[in-house]
Amino acid sequence: MPPSPSAVPPKYSVVITVYNEEGNIDPVLAELYPALEQLGEPFEVVYCDDASTDATARRLAAARERYPHLRVVRHRANGGKSRALWTAVDCARGEWLIMLDGDGQNDPADIAGLLAKLREVPVPTLVAGTRRRRRDSWLKRLSSRIANKVRRAVLKDDTPDTGCGLKLCRREAFLRLPRFDHSHRFLPALVRRDGGSVAFVEVTDRPRLSGQSKYGLRNRLWTGIVDLAGVYWLMRRPTRSAIENEE
């Protein structure tokens, strides 16, 4: 007798973090599930609700009644996007992680393009989306352009757009990365530090479907400078991948 769908281990785990995104839960899932079903592989969707204070938790609970393989974990206190991402990854079971923003700016149709990169030889450890024709305000685009240029100069990571939330990564490799606040902004550099390879794919950028962004110039600029200094220090430290053998 073949195993039931719930017993089939997922190949892909879509991990989504949300904080006060009540208006985006249903629209994102309505687009995401058809895109995943076209892949023809077992999948699951793991949401981490980072202690939302609106109706996000209720919307997710209702969605679980309609969408199979949808799992939800909730923080008791708000911990930020990186901590929520790690929580979702810890709960995930798939061989590959598909990271997707919960505000609707990522187009689930672009997931197929990221997966197409896996057919290349050698297979990349991380495939990161690069947004084309950004739909943010001019100030946000300018600050992002400056931040990307400074980060590339300091870290030498050759990453054109570290702020794109749509990424594909082998879960085993992700779990080896260091955990710290705002680590999600430096995933390509951290993967390369651990000996992995990174590829990039152009993806669509769309306006936020509902609600307001949780990021502004103030909480991006100054924390970004501090984070960059910390990651620069980290990049100069040896990793386990640098060890030839262990006795």
pLDDT tens track for 47-61: 999 999 999 999 999
Per residue in 62-107, pLDDT tens? 999 999 999 999 999 999 999 999 999 999 999 999 999 999 999 9
Give alpha helix (H) positions in the chain.
25-37, 56-64, 81-91, 111-116, 138-155, 171-174, 187-193, 217-235
Going from N- to C-terminal start, the domains of the chain cover 5-137+159-215
Confidence of residue 3 (pLDDT cuts 50, 70, 90): very low
How far is the CA of 30 from the CAs of 35, 71, 73, 106, in angstroms? 9, 16, 20, 13
Q: Note the CATH number of domain 5-137+159-215.
A: 3.90.550.10
